[in-house]
Amino acid sequence: MRCLKILAVCSPLCSVAADAVADTYNSADRTSEYTIRSESLGEDRKILVRTPLNYAQGERNYPVVYLLDGEWNFELVASYLDYMYDNEVYPEMIVTGIQNVNRNRDYVPRDDASFPDTGEAGVFREFVREDWIEYLDDHYSTNDTRVLVGHSFGGVFTLHMLFQEPELFDAYIALGSSAWIADRILFEEATAFFENAADTDAFVYMAVGEGDGGPTVPSSKDLAALFEEMAPKSLEWTFDVTSKTDHFKNFASGMHDAFMSLFPAWEFEKEVKSRAEADGAAGVEAWFAEKQTALGFRFQPAWFDMGVTAMGLSRNGHGEAALALMAELRTYYPENSFVASFSAAVYSNLEQYERAENEYLRAIAIAREKGLHPNTIHIDRLERGLNRVRTLRDGT
């Protein structure tokens, strides 16, 4: 284990937000900057860390998104992930970014005479493994799930990391990668990797903007062709040419497309509804088990879509399936007032008024405990729902 000397800490190590909405204007309360001494690089490096909204040290462990070019990309990606979590699309994740010192040196695996200082990506790879990841694991509640995101030369390094140490990250997002750099060294590394990567299990997303100049688009297409020819079936990979973007605009659009592919929740509610109508509660439970097995940490059921689906099922003769669906949702969102209110509505539709009352009480308690603003959820409407089910229960 490598010892790191913390030189400076700006803002608290961790903080717990009282809200349940990931307002990006209060993200400073969840963002910390550290300067650490790296033995592998022989220099000080600054890293940024943003914790999830509901983060509490030691209560649970979180996936980590590692961002290269942190001075440019950190705020954009961290705020984007806040927003998407808030809109029930992605799970909560810790986000960390590294600020550059010499990106030519750090990101390019072999010397390129046209770009000074290139060729020491192997040393930076050691920093990522021994210093950066180790620091996060030692100081934050992380799990073993990691996502690496890089753009341009950062995309080159991301793919270099895949080809050299594929077990270190679960997902590799490489955008606008300069696949032509250093006499197309990525092609050499990819070929060697694929010849020995029969069981590699990882998610890889690559994209370039259609307006990216020079050799970036054609070399990236060539690299994708190599993936098509040689990549093992166990490697889930995608290559896109993003329309109406150039080298820099592609980062924003490509980043969104990459994470939407990483967490593929589109139309899940239609799938589970079909299984519910065909096989009842057993079909719902089987669908969740299948998705969890297939996707692992990437499976994040959208509570709003699923809640609406459960309400529809409860009104249309599929009550047991609706109850099974809400039971599954509660395991993913145990402290979500919306999920509790959906549960209450489903119980009410099925005339299980005591259970409906308990879920309304739970939804109100969560909303009050977290100080939820009416723009988030209306406690007065929950209270009206509570009074309605009590009246129905009592027959008055």
For the whole model, what pTM was predicted? 0.89
> Looking at the structure, do residues 124 and 235 belong to the same domain, yes or no?
yes
- Number of folded domains in the chain? 2
254 domain-assigned: yes
Are 162 and 272 within one domain? no
CA distances to 43, 46, 120 from 132, in Å: 13, 10, 17
Q: Which domain holds residue 380?
A: 268-394
Asked whether residue 246 falls in the same domain as residue 272, the answer is no
Per-residue pLDDT of the chain (396 residues; tens, 9 = 90+): 333 333 433 332 232 233 344 555 567 889 999 999 998 899 999 999 999 987 888 888 999 999 999 999 999 999 999 999 887 779 999 999 999 999 999 999 999 999 999 999 999 999 999 999 999 999 999 999 999 999 999 999 999 999 999 999 999 999 999 999 999 999 999 999 999 877 889 999 999 999 998 999 999 999 999 999 999 999 999 999 999 999 999 999 999 999 999 999 899 999 999 999 999 999 999 999 999 999 999 999 999 999 999 999 999 999 999 999 999 999 999 988 999 999 999 999 999 999 999 999 999 999 888 887 776 788 889 999 999 999 999 986
- 291, 219: one domain: no
- Do residues 147 and 233 share a domain? yes
Instruction: Indicate if 245 and 388 belong to the same structural domain.
Output: no
Residue 21 lies in a domain: yes
Does residue 29 form part of some domain? yes
Provide the CATH number for the domain around residue 205. Answer: 3.40.50.1820
Q: Is residue 1 part of a domain?
A: no
> What is the CATH classification number for the domain harbouring 298?
1.25.40.10
Q: Which of 262, 281, 314 is the last residue of a domain?
A: 262
Is residue 389 domain-resident?
yes
